[in-house]
Structure 1
Amino acid sequence: MKRYEDPLALVDVTLFTIREGRLSLLLATRKNRDEPYFGALALPGGVIHTDEDENAQDAASRVVRTKLGFDPPYMEQLYTFSGRLRDPRRWSLSVAYYSLVPESVLEQTQVEGLEFVPADRIPDLPFDHNEIAAMAIRRLRSKSTYSSLLTFLLPSEFTIPELHAVYEQVTGSATNIAAFRKKVLDEDMIEATGERRKGGQHRAPDLYRRKGNGLQELKRTI
């Protein structure tokens, strides 16, 4: 009976944040000399550990935790990429995820070899990571218009102008802030904390937080 080589089973994570006012993608330097593209910037990823990972989501969470130094506040499966030529080692498949992380969380990591690049200026990456990143950006922009997804890019407390700025940056659309405020409040996706942002020369703006812990889908698009 003919025997077949097992495929290489991987996970890859496209991790987004807002850095210097721009939607940015985190890339990590490949540090294993025994693996392809040593020293290159790529999406954080790794092999699924069948002895400890219950599923692909657990593997992706482990990769972020061990390679980046934190647990991702939000992560969702994107797509499965597979093929004979995507990895020089052998036939492989990668379950890709996208994750959103506030910049304040990323500032706490002590991991070296990380680099942030604007989402509209991603360099040539190894494997099929450019294709994965492009799909993740499309998903992020689309889902941002009908869910509370973008609140995961902000700290636990934020102002409506800060949320509005993130929405415009991610979606690339200019929206009236008064209409935006009405929509997000009508959808009940955020709630007031009862506090105000301190500092500044003008009237301190009200602070809000995401309502609930998980993702909320909206009745109407923003």
Structure 2
Amino acid sequence: MPDDLLSVVSVDVVALHYDAGRRQVFLGTHDRTTEPFLGQRALPGVVVHSGERLRDAAQRALGKLGITATPPALGQVRTFDEPSRDPRGPSLAIAMWAAFPDAPALHTPEALWEPVDAVGPLAFDHSVIVAEARDVLSDRLWRDVEFTRALTGPEFTATDAVAITRQLSGHPPHRANLNRDLARISGLTQTGDAPTSGARPPKLWRWEDPTDQPA
């Protein structure tokens, strides 16, 4: 088969973290430094090396955001194979998601973090990838403990749960149903009310430490 008919395989990563102070789920992008789409914002992505595992390629891609830490939760969205997605030629993009608790190490000079529900236009088909990733992750939220815990951090309030659900799904949740969902999650415990100056403090939820679980 002629080389010009071969598709390049890349990994593009939808990296998310939740900022409890601003009650926002943020998406990480960067400014491209090469053509095509020079100077435009894009998801971090790399071409997969021969024999490279997707997890390792995703870790390399996160380096474009200045992130060297291994994501606590990582998974796959789907493969994007639109023939015209890359002006350089045929390309397959395996979209991955990575979730991080908020931490100073995420806020690097390379990373541009903006609310996931208010992302501006992105290079290639990355806006489509983000939209589909939100659908996938909205479905996983409160069902996939690894993903959910990575996003919320060790503890969160009921107000945080509402904000995260709304921003991933695009619509506000039914609070009573959400509370029932939280109460059914193994390893998640309601620990009273969160400190607040308001008249009605939100409930505080805390993940059990895995090291405290019985063998």
TM range (shorter): 0.7 to 0.9
Q: Which residue of 1 aligns with 2:118?
A: 121
Q: Which residue of 1 aligns with 2:30?
A: 28
Contact (CA 8 Å) 2:65, 2:110: kept in 1 or not?
A: no
SS at the partner of 2:3? coil
Gaps of at least 5 residues in structure 2 are: none
| Alignment RMSD (CA, Å) | 3.1
Pick the aligned partner of 1:143 from 127, 140, 161. Answer: 140
Corresponding position: 1:68 with 2:66: yes
Contact (CA 8 Å) 2:14, 2:97: kept in 1 or not?
A: yes
SS at the partner of 2:81? strand
Contact (CA 8 Å) 1:168, 1:175: kept in 2 or not?
A: no
Q: How far did 1:12 drift?
A: 0.2
Amino acid at match of 1:29: D
Alpha-carbon distance between aligned partners in 2 of 1:145 and 1:155, rounded to the nearest angstrom: 13
Alpha-carbon distance between aligned partners in 1 of 2:209 and 2:162, rounded to the nearest angstrom: 17
Alpha-carbon distance between aligned partners in 2 of 1:38 and 1:146, rounded to the nearest angstrom: 39
Q: How far did 1:135 drift?
A: 0.6
Q: Which residue of 1 aligns with 2:93?
A: 94
Contact (CA 8 Å) 1:150, 1:166: kept in 2 or not?
A: no
Structure 1 residues 165 and 36: alpha-carbon distance in aligned structure 2, compared to 1, 3 A threshold: closer
- Report the TM-score, using the length of structure 1 for normalisation: 0.74
Corresponding position: 1:131 with 2:133: no
Alpha-carbon distance between aligned partners in 1 of 2:79 and 2:18, rounded to the nearest angstrom: 26
Q: How far did 1:167 drift?
A: 2.9
Percent of pairs with identical residues: 23
Structure 1 residues 58 and 210: alpha-carbon distance in aligned structure 2, compared to 1, 3 A threshold: farther
Structure 1 residues 8 and 210: alpha-carbon distance in aligned structure 2, compared to 1, 3 A threshold: farther
Contact (CA 8 Å) 1:190, 1:209: kept in 2 or not?
A: yes
SS at the partner of 2:113? strand
Q: How far did 1:212 drift?
A: 5.0
Q: Which residue of 2 aligns with 1:166?
A: 164
- Equivalences, count: 203
Alpha-carbon distance between aligned partners in 2 of 1:184 and 1:205, rounded to the nearest angstrom: 11
Alpha-carbon distance between aligned partners in 1 of 2:38 and 2:58, rounded to the nearest angstrom: 21
SS at the partner of 2:16? strand
Structure 1 residues 175 and 38: alpha-carbon distance in aligned structure 2, compared to 1, 3 A threshold: same
SS at the partner of 2:117? coil
Gaps of at least 5 residues in structure 1 are: 214-222
- Please give the residue correspondences for 1:205-216 in structure 2 after superposition, counting only pairs within 5 Å: 208-209=206-207, 212=210
Alpha-carbon distance between aligned partners in 1 of 2:94 and 2:81, rounded to the nearest angstrom: 9
Amino acid at match of 1:57: R
